Amino acid sequence: MELVREAVTILNGTHDFKAFTLPSRLDELPPEYSTRRHVDISLEQSTSFLAPYIPPFANEFDYWHFVYKSRSFLFRQARCAAVFIVIALRRS
C-alpha cells in the first residue's frame, strides 16, 4: 500500500489534466480549462458496503476509498486517476 500512497501524492497539487479531455474538444476549449488547482487525493481504509449482505466474505478483503477534493473535476477524471494508481501498483 505504500506504493499506492506514493502514487496518490504525485497526483496532488496543480496539474494540467488535458489527457482527460476529449480530443475533439481540445481545439474549442481555452488552455486553462483542463488545469485543476489544489487537487487533493487521499487514501482511506474503509469497509465493504456489502458487509451486511455477505458477512462471511466481507472480512476476507481490505477495502480502501480514494477521496478526491477539488473545486471542479473533468469528466471521468477521478476514475482515470484511480485506474492510474492501480496500474502503477500492479506494475511494481
pLDDT by residue (tens digit) across 69-82? Answer: 877 766 677 777 77
What is the spatial distance between Cα 20 and Cα 18, in angstroms, rounded to a whole number?
5
Does this model's pTM top 0.75? My answer is: no
List, for residues 24-38, the tens digit of each pLDDT value. Answer: 877 787 777 777 666
What is the spatial distance between Cα 42 and Cα 11, in angstroms, rounded to a whole number?
10
